[in-house]
Amino acid sequence: MFKGQKVKIRLKRFGSNEKVRIFVGTVLDMNNEWLKVDGKFYYLAKGELEPRVDKKARVLGMPRENIQIIRILPNNLDLDNMNYKIKNNRMVVEIENHQPVSISEY
């Protein structure tokens, strides 16, 4: 279903103190229980002016039960050169001819 597509994945939070975790990348493989993804984590921690972004992409296995939302991103989005702005306490990526993507918030 999502294999080969670029996605934004919002993971579930299991406690009120847990940060919002967003993973942006490409789905390499999937089954009924897991997604294998290649990409980076992005988040804006409360009280910090600059967002935290993984320096290098990584391949992860994500249990589907831990995923809250998956948004399909345009195939022409360059995941290595995403330009973001901070708007109203959110990291927002402007995508030409598409709705902006809210990456993280606090």
Over its length of 106 residues, how does the chain's per-residue pLDDT go in tens digits?
899 999 999 888 887 777 778 899 999 999 999 999 999 988 766 666 677 888 899 999 999 999 999 999 988 888 888 777 777 777 787 777 778 887 765 4
Residue 87 located in a structural domain: yes
Residue 1 located in a structural domain: no
DSSP label at residue 44? -
Q: How far apart are CA 81 and CA 68, in angstroms?
A: 25
What domain range includes position 44?
A: 6-105
Residue 90 located in a structural domain: yes
Residue 57 located in a structural domain: yes
Inter-residue contact 30 to 36 (CB < 8 Å): yes
The distance from CA 23 to its chain's CA centroid, rounded to whole angstroms, is 3
pLDDT at 3 (0 to 100): 94
CA dihedral over 87, 57, 28, 79, signed as positive or negative: positive
Please report where in the chains the tokens 């990456």 appear, as a residue. 103
Q: How far apart are CA 94 and CA 62, in angstroms?
A: 26
pTM for the full model? Answer: 0.83
Split into its structural domains, the chain has a count of 1
Phi, psi of 83, rounded to the nearest 5 degrees: -100, 125
Residue 56 located in a structural domain: yes
